[in-house]
Structure 1
Amino acid sequence: MHVLIPVLHRPDRPTGVCRHGANLAQGLAECDEVSKVTVIIGAWQTHYFAHGFGLTSSKIRLVDVDIKNSSIGRNQWFLTDLPKLANRLCPDIVHLSFPLPFVRQWFNCPVVATIHDLYPYEYPQNFGFPQVWFNQWFLNQCINQSDGLSCVSKTTLEALKTHFPKMDQRKPLRVIYNSVENNSGQSNPPQVLKDQQHRLFILGVAQHRKNKNLDLLIRAYNALLKNNKIDSETQLILVGSPGPETSSLHQLVNSLDLQDQITFLSGLDDSKLNWLYEQATLFVMPSSTEGFCLPLIEAQAAGCPVVCSDIPIFHEIASPQCHYFDLNDSPLENLITAIAEALVYPESRKPFINTAFKQEITSQQYLDFYRCLLN
């Protein structure tokens, strides 16, 4: 079986969508039934796909596309050039690693898509207006044109059914979790932290979007410092791609005079992320909504204690040892209390990976899904 995976995406540094595409390709390449995996990327993604994701299988071929990295340029390429490239490469199935606009009749084989979340409908402020209307249209068009859809969680599947009623009567739907392995590979500190390797830190990993509530984490961290609930030398390290909230987050840090205490990082390779997960005193994820949340799973896989918001997706994917806090009533006070308690009564640093997230499990589920469509 030959699987073609378009992962051509805007960021010039690794993101969750890119990691999903890379993990999907690596997992499929390890299956005997799969003879070839072709991964389509933008020219600006070549470096981190070639060197950052460990795509070592001889079955995987990276095809880079040299186009203008703009919204118009990418979406035009998806609509007109992707089907031409796919039909020339003759895969048995095309698996879109994220929703993108396409016309099904222009492809000679089945097309499936991974649905990560329903943010364009559930959290339009992540995109702003009128941009969110285009995001909604792209998502709508992809969902309706695909031959089948894989959702990264039960929570995402339920959201899909809410916004697209009776979709399960029209095409195959599956819940197939993102794959996560206990990465015991190389571990190196980010360059900016090389001189501070022995300093304690709390870690957050999330793109700068409204639903991630990073401002809440910053305020809680500030209160913990002011009230001597944490060591004054403890840093807060926030890893994530810039987004709509970047400016306001930096303004908040400046207003609280925390420039020397909070470090913003982005685009880290796996070795540096591994080091952060392994060394962090605590991992905090205060999101209002998520489709899956790969960083939380990666933190658990590294044995890092976790504090997270009390929302359905985290109960679905997180370890039973997580410290939950309520976002509805006095969220700031609740987060402060949860962090303080987690530091006083830390869980053992024992790696936790749900077997449903293991690569051999998810890869087999994808193969079964593909066979269903091909038959």
Structure 2
Amino acid sequence: MRIIFDAYELIQGQGKSLGIYNYAKNLLKALVEEIDDKTELLVICNSANQHDFSYQHPRVRTILVSATPPRKIARLIWFFGRAAIETRKLQADVYFSPKGFCPKLLKTLSPALKTVVIIHDLIPLWYAEHFPGYFGRLEEWFINNSIVSSTKYADRIIAISQATRDDIAARTGRTQGVAMIYNGISVPAPGPRPYPHPYIFAMSSTLPHKNAEGILAAYQAYRHQTDSPLPLFICGIETTAQDGVTSIKAAYASELHAYFAYAELFLFLSFTEGFGFPPLEALAHGTPVLCSDIPVLREISKGTANYVALDDSAAIGRKIVELLNQENSVELQNQRRAVLNEFTWAACAKGVLKSILN
């Protein structure tokens, strides 16, 4: 079986694009370990990502289709026809997209082709409901139309959480041909302690669904409820003048994970997520987590985090005080770390390959 692994559009950007890039890179590495002599992986890439998507393996072939990283026009050309043309040239049996979109004309040019698409989340549809036009009306229409079309018409969908699978069913009506396969989690060793005293750590971004304002409001509520508030270090937002808050930018994974590992508490108060890596990364270090009470975060944390509604900053502040006053025992730390056993790249690759071959 000849499987196209489409990494053509993937770039090491920021936020979600970086997350999907790392997902694809780690998944491919694990897939290479799983394929047998009846399976051939044809990895389509560009010059900028070739080093991360090339393998010296008899059943893996790298197809370089661009001498430069694809810009917007090149990506549109790929989506509306070039991907289908390249797929036909390669006489593939399966087209696999780790990005979440199924390009046009694939079935038109290759009628026997099967398509398999990873759906990371349906957050763009959430934006259309809660922040219409946030990314521009034309881009919103294009992205949402492409996601819905891919979700409805790909031969097989792989959702990265049960919450995403449920969202697909609720928003598109599709329940058949949808598998749920968790991501793997790679946790590097933390670097040196970043701050000599106890502190709280949070991750967010300037995107509305990450709820940076809610984190800052909850932290200020906490400060008003205790005589000796811990400082907050927050990654992902610009510098703020709020009391006790320091915005940080971690240059290396070990530096970021040092903030996770040595924090007294990790805050993550997103409105919506498809999976939610940061809480798991904190749990991997045994750090207590306070996060949004949304289905996906309950699902992936397996009951080892603490959950709060997002409509009452004062209540979140009280919960922060409560958790900081609790003992962080070795037993609790080990329970949190054990959650990571559910999320390995080997298990992810086995599940993805099974879905493709079936």
TM-score band, normalised by shorter chain: 0.7 to 0.9
CA positional deviation for 1:160: 0.8
One of 333, 350, 355 as aligned partner of 1:349: 333
In the alignment, what sits opposite 2:306?
A: 323
Q: Which residue of the other structure, out of 214, 217, 228, is the alignment partner of 1:216?
A: 214
2:175 matched to which residue of 1?
Answer: 168
Q: How is 1:172-211 mapped onto 2 (pairs within 5 angstroms)?
A: 172-181=177-186, 183=187, 185-188=188-191, 196-211=194-209
- 2:148 paired with 1:117: no
**Structure 2 partner of 1:83:** 84
**SS, match of residue 149 in structure 1:** strand
State how 1:1-375 maps to structure 2 within 5 Å: 2-7=2-7, 8-9=9-10, 11-13=12-14, 15-33=18-36, 37-45=41-49, 49=52, 58=57, 65-67=66-68, 69-103=70-104, 104-105=106-107, 106-107=109-110, 109-124=113-128, 125=131, 127-130=134-137, 131-165=139-173, 167-169=174-176, 172-181=177-186, 183=187, 185-188=188-191, 196-228=194-226, 231-232=229-230, 234-239=231-236, 253-254=240-241, 256=242, 261-265=245-249, 269-328=252-311, 330=312, 332-347=313-328, 348-350=332-334, 351-353=337-339, 355-372=341-358
Cα distance in 2 for residues equivalent to 1:341 and 1:69: 50
Instruction: Name the CA shift for 1:153/1:354 in 2 (closer, same or farther; >3 Å).
Output: same
Tell me by how many angstroms 1:143 deviates.
Answer: 2.1
1:25–1:37 CA contact under 8 A, matched in 2: no
Q: Provide the alpha-carbon RMSD of the alignment.
A: 3.2
Query: Contact between 1:204 and 1:283, CA under 8 Å: does it hold in 2?
Result: yes
| Partner amino acid, structure 1, of 2:282 | A
Q: C-alpha separation between the residues in 2 aligned to 1:57 and 1:277?
A: 35
2:178 maps to amino acid: L
Contact 1:29 1:57 in 2 (8 A): no
Is the alpha carbon distance of 1:220 and 1:69 closer, same or farther for their aligned partners in structure 2, counting shifts above 3 Å?
farther
What is the SS of the residue equivalent to 1:5?
strand
Contact 2:152–2:172 (8 Å) recurs in 1: no
Q: Deviations 1:100-139 (Å, cap 9, x if unpaired)?
A: 2512223463221111111222232284340311111111
Q: Aligned to 1:321, what secondary structure does the other structure show?
A: coil
Give the distance between the partners of 2:102 and 2:322, measured in 1 at CA: 46
For structure 1, which segment, 99-108 or 297-306, has the greater mean C-alpha deviation from structure 2 after superposition? 99-108
Q: Compared with structure 1, are the counterparts of its residues 71 and 282 closer, same or farther at alpha carbon in structure 2 (3 Å cutoff)?
A: farther
Partners of 1:109 and 1:337 in 2: CA distance: 55
Q: 1:94 to 1:227 in 2, by over 3 A?
A: same
Q: Distance in 2 between matches of 1:129 and 1:2?
A: 38
Task: Give the TM-score normalised by the residue count of structure 1.
Answer: 0.77
SS at match of 2:175: helix
Structure-1 separation of matches of 2:319 and 2:55: 41
1:133–1:346 distance in 2 versus 1, CA, 3 Å: farther
Could you list the runs of 5+ residues in structure 1 that have no partner in the other structure?
240-245
SS in 2 for 1:198: coil
Distance 2:257 2:62 in 1: 25
- Partner letter of residue 152 of structure 1? I
Q: What is the TM-score with the length of structure 2 in the denominator?
A: 0.81
Question: Does the residue aligned with 2:273 lie in a helix, a strand or coil?
Answer: coil
Q: Secondary structure at the match of 2:22?
A: helix
Q: Deviations over 1:81-116 (max 9, x none)?
A: 223334445554322112225122234632211111
Query: Are the aligned partners of 1:204 and 1:285 in contact in 2 as well (CA < 8 Å)?
Result: yes
Indicate if the aligned counterparts of 1:283 and 1:305 stay in contact, CA closer than 8 A: yes
Q: Secondary structure at the match of 2:164?
A: helix
Three-state SS of the structure 2 residue aligned to 1:290 is coil
Q: Secondary structure at the match of 1:353?
A: helix
Decide which moves more: 104-113 or 83-92. 83-92
Q: Which runs of 5+ in 2 are unaligned?
A: none
CA 1:282–1:39 in 2, change beyond 3 Å: closer, same or farther? Answer: farther
